[in-house]
Structure 1
Amino acid sequence: MNLTPGNAICYSGYREGQNPGTGHYPSFDEVKEDLTILSQNWTYLRLYDCGPHAEIVLDVIQKEGFAFKVMLGADLGAEMSNPNCPWDANFDAETLQKNQANNLAQINKLIALSKQYSDTIFSVSIGNEASVEWTDHLVSVESLIGYVRMIKKEISQPVTFCENYVPWTNKLAPLVAELDFLSIHTYPVWEYQTIETALEYTKQNYYSVANMYPDTPVCITEAGWACASNGRGIEPWNASQELQAIYYEQLMEWTTQAQILTFVFEAFDEQWKGSSHPLEPEKHWGLFNLDRTPKLVMKSLYQQLNQASQQDGSVIIQNVS
């Protein structure tokens, strides 16, 4: 298959006080506002699950006539305990059995939405970081293969799996033959790289997989740079808007030239993620702030877009400060 290059971004629209764990989701109008912002620069969106948030996003795209192409994901729970996970990932048999039932329901929902929104959903992913060594939602390769086969019996869209680059070079080899393309994640800042070595490290991550499977297309479904950190996993000096802007520019220049479809992580900051500490790095990966104003990496582009919109009488984004 051909992965047509284009600007691509991971989108999760949870705002202040919203959290999928508590069942508080963005409204139709809030998602519409987000997609109006993103439509000015991006063609592809990646969604992580098939829950209410994804349903709202797909509904907005269809009803408002947005031209996005969506990669829809399945949110799989742990089907195995994982003693290698740095936080708690030990589950009793009842929990694992319940997760398996929920996973099957998630796959069936993925199939149903892919049929309902076949003009919008250009590909599907059977999961996200469910096989990497440290995951807290470990799923066996055999189970992943089973899900792929189940999906392919029902829909025509290409099927992938989104995972850290490392498992692709070893344990996921049996899965590769079942997939239409591979989707890797690369985060040099999580692996103690500085901005001076970041792009070269990203390239090494990508080609470690692409060169191993020369007959299978490979895209990047997560790559980005944190803007703030309390020191958990990322040194505070190595997380800033300035560094994010540099990495983004380098990443886009390379992947555009190399024709690699690359989903930047991520569109907007998400306050609900990680610990309660305000500088928890999980909260600070967005190219836009929680209030939807652009960060340094996007400020110049969105100032230009805003000026152009004012000239033709429309408004793209009101506040770029």
Structure 2
Amino acid sequence: MACNQKKKETIMQTQKQVTAKDILGNPDYQAISYGGYRKKSRDSQPTIPQLKEDMKILSAMGIKVIRTYNVQSKLPHASNILKAITELKNEDENFEMYVMLGAWIDCLNAWTDKVPNHDVESPNNASEIARAVDLANQYPEIVKVIAVGNEAMVKWATSYYVQPDVILKWVNHLQDLKTEGKLSKELWITSSDDFASWGGGEDKYHVKALEDLVKAVDYISMHTYPYHNTHYNPEFWHVPNAHKGMPDTTKIEMAMERAIKFSQKQYDSVTNYMKSLGVKKPIHIGETGWASVSSGQYGNNGSRATDEYKQGLFHQQMRAWTNRAGISCFYFEAFNEQWKDAAHPNGSENHFGLFTIDGKAKYPIWDLVDEGVFDGLTRDGNTIRKTYNGNKVDLMKDVLVPPSKDEVMATH
């Protein structure tokens, strides 16, 4: 009995000592972006038992850090996740899961019928930050990072983006709370945004407030989506004329290798901008992913980028690169969520998950099903089985080769 008690105390002590500095960049702490929504509207909140089911599934596949996106008062999703993790930790002293807690940031008039004012912030931001602080203080053993905003500075987010000085203001506020002892000094503060917002793209982003923000955060959380660039910037994606005679699988594999290099180039561009400011801080990937279904511009009539096979290659290569390089990758995302594009069931935004909504494991993680890591686990009563009934021949029927260079030039 005394021996068991000592072991329990050691485990608890070890878990309490784990900080963001220990977790980020550590391949033993795999990360993922997580939303547990099952329905077409976020008005239907997943229950704590459902969230616990999901946490067990993610834990079984080696995930130990999840990223959430908001703590809005009408959406108790994040706070319920923290409750679910707490219950799991109480039930099993070895259960380990940490959270990068997102605080959503908007401009004035965002998501209304009024014209968004990108130079003025929403009055809701202050209460969003306050809720994030409360949760971080309530669950210090779980919340290891607060991210101020999600793609809140990138100018293509026309519904809600703000200027960098708004993000800087709230990052400084949180850093001040740490200095004053009102937040844990070990808590890391960042903002999670597109690589361009972090100075890796156009010069228009290179403003004084961004320079100050780079210096104010504990690390940079950047997003990179070669998937979207198969449409918007297809030069890297097309099959070169010199490759015309190659087998289709080789053409696809080479395209996916170029996709990874595309992300690496974006990562390097942010690194170079940071260094140009005389700053040396970790840079981690707050989001990257690849959809498995698209009825739109990434699908059969567009860039032909979308299917589970390509998703599997991207996931495998992205994990291999980031693990090797000591970069945390909050892969997007754990489960499909159909609220993201509720009007278009086959819209790509609904299909970035490694699992379907009913708990089927997509091709990227078929090997984990084979290994038995999900044995005994369910999602909403469904055992974890493979998509396509595990038949790769059937899966490959839905796989298209990227367009040739001539085809790309003809459509652009």
Whole-Å Cα distance in 2 between the matches of residues 165 and 92 of structure 1? 23
Would the aligned equivalents of 1:7 and 1:42 in 2 still touch at CA under 8 Å? Answer: yes
Q: Name the counterpart of 2:50.
A: 30
User: Are 1:185 and 2:223 counterparts?
Assistant: yes
- Partner of 1:220: helix, strand, or coil? strand
Q: CA deviation at 1:292?
A: 1.4
Aligned-CA RMSD value: 2.3
Contact 2:69 2:102 in 1 (8 A): yes
Matches within 5 A, 1:149-168: 149-154=172-177, 155=183, 156=185, 157-168=187-198
1:185 touches 1:222 (CA, 8 Å); kept in 2? yes
Indicate conservation of the 8 Å contact 2:30/2:329, yes or no: yes
Question: What's 2:259 paired with?
Answer: 198
Residue 39 of structure 2 corresponds to 16
Q: Which amino acid aligns with 1:43?
A: K
Contact 2:214 2:220 in 1 (8 A): yes
Distance 1:131 1:237 in 2: 29
1:105-124 aligned within 5 A:
105-124=127-146
Residue number in structure 1 paired with 2:101: 72
Q: Does 1:222 align with 2:287?
A: yes
Structure 2's unaligned 5+ residue stretches are 1-20, 90-94, 178-182, 200-205, 231-236, 238-254, 387-412
Structure (1 or 2) with the greater helix fraction:
2
In structure 1, what is the Cα distance between the partners aligned to 2:51 and 2:88? 11
Query: Secondary structure at 1:153's aligned position in 2?
Result: helix
165-174 or 220-229: bigger deviation: 165-174
Offset, 1:74: 0.5
SS in 1 for 2:222: strand
Please report how far the alpha carbon of residue 266 of structure 1 lies from its aligned counterpart in structure 2 after TM superposition.
Answer: 0.1
Aligned to 1:45: 66
Shift of 1:278: 1.9
Q: Does 1:100 align with 2:132?
A: no
Once residues 231 and 48 of structure 1 are traced to their aligned partners in structure 2, the CA distance between those partners, rounded to angstroms, is: 25
* d(CA) in 1 for partners of 2:214, 2:355: 34
CA distance in 2, matches of 1:257, 1:79: 42
* Secondary structure at 2:123 match in 1: helix
Unpaired runs of 5+ residues, structure 1, are: 82-86, 310-314
Paired residues in the alignment total 305
Instruction: Give the Cα–Cα distance (whole angstroms) in 2 for the partners of residues 162 and 44 of structure 1.
Output: 15
Q: Distance in 2 between matches of 1:49 and 1:301?
A: 30
Question: Higher mean Cα deviation, 27-36 or 149-158?
Answer: 149-158
In 2 relative to 1, CA 181–89 (structure 1 residues): closer, same or farther, beyond 3 Å?
A: farther
CA distance in 2, matches of 1:219, 1:300: 26
Partner of 1:248: 315
Write the deviation string for residues 103-144 of structure 1: whole angstroms up to 9, x where unpaired: 110000011000001110111100100111101211121111
Name the SS for the 2:100 alignment partner.
strand
Superposed, 1:120-131 pairs within 5 Å as 120-131=142-153
Higher-Rg member (1/2)? 2
Greater CA deviation, 150-159 or 226-235? 226-235
Identity level (%): 30
- Indicate the residue corresponding to 1:297 in structure 2: 364
User: 2:141 is paired with a residue of what secondary structure?
Assistant: coil
Question: Does structure 2 conserve the Cα–Cα contact (< 8 Å) formed by 1:230 and 1:236?
Answer: no
Partner residue, 2:401: none
The answer to whether the 8 A contact 1:79-1:138 is kept is no
What amino acid is aligned across from residue 167 of structure 1 in structure 2? S
Change (3 A) 1:130 1:233: farther
Contact 2:53/2:377 (8 A) holds in 1: no
Aligned residue type for 1:102: N
Partner of residue 296, structure 2: 231
Change (3 A) 1:90 1:138: farther
* Counterpart-to-counterpart distance in 1, 2:322 and 2:217: 22
Residue deviations 1:212-260 (CA, integer Å, cap 9, x gap): 3240110001011010111245536210000000011111111111111
Q: Which moved more, 1:171-180 or 1:287-296?
A: 171-180
